[in-house]
Amino acid sequence: MFLENGRLLLHYRVLSHLGAGGMGEVYLAEDLRLGRKLALKIVSARLARDEDRLQRFQWEARSVSALNHPNVITIYDIGEADGQHFIATEFIDGETLRARLSAGPLPPALAVDLVVQAARGLDAAHALGIVHRDIKPENVMIRRDGLVKVLEGQACRGRQSCERGCHRPVRDHAGRDSRHGRLHVARTGARPPRGCALGCLFCWRRVLRNALRQTAVSR
């Protein structure tokens, strides 16, 4: 269902349509209580009809909302109004890593900086025992000022949750272990190894390789 500009969902007013994501449509909205702009993500009707997936989505949103890190998107609220399930997050004025890569190879220093920032965000999640199971260029935003934000995605907490409740990640962007449907999560469920964050980012090795190759050619 497409929401027209000016539509109200609780105290959120739709300002414009931003695009579509894996979970549904995304809108720029205004929080009328706090007077700030945010991204309002509306769950698709197909996802909303699947009770198990809807509950998992809501659980993932609650898990990510516990994070307070500059390199992780901030989740403000989840809810339902007029039959529409939604998640309200900070509005990121920028572009996805996928869009940035489509413009051509990145300078080596910039490529390293983007990967390091994303890894810091993932490490903060791992510190709470949360594993991001869908890290890929589409789920990484770059603000106009260069700050990287890891978006919410398939998440799990602890070994049993990862093995039982999560979809397998997209193959091209998964770490070696997660391609087999698992990640090495600490048995205590408290903190997976830091290497998990960097391992998930190895999918961007082509970014670094291409950037370094172009630098070598220019020399």
- List pLDDT tens digits, range 160-183: 444 444 433 333 444 443 433 333
The CATH H-level superfamily of 94-158+191-216 is: Transferase(Phosphotransferase) domain 1 (1.10.510.10)
Sole residue written with tokens 């260029």: 137
List phi, psi (to 5°) of 9: -125, 105
**Which whole number is the average pLDDT over 197-216?**
50
Highest mean predicted confidence (pLDDT) among 87-91, 151-155, 188-192, 195-199: 87-91
Tokens of 171: 């193959």
Q: What ranges do the domains of the chain cover? A: 7-90, 94-158+191-216
Which of residues 87 and 63 earns the better pLDDT score? Answer: 87
Q: How far apart are CA 111 and CA 101, in angstroms?
A: 10
| pTM for the full predicted model | 0.69
Whether residue 134 lies in the annotated active site: yes
Nearest to 31 by CA among 54, 60, 1, 9: 9
Lowest-pLDDT range of 69-78, 91-100, 103-112: 103-112
Single-letter code of the amino acid located at 14: V
Which CATH number is 7-90's, of 3.30.420.40, 3.30.200.20, 1.10.760.10, 3.40.50.1400?
3.30.200.20
Which of the residues 52, 82, 134, 145 is marked catalytic? 134
Tokens of 169: 């990640």
- Proportion of the chain above pLDDT 90, given as a percent: 29
pLDDT reported for residue 33: 96
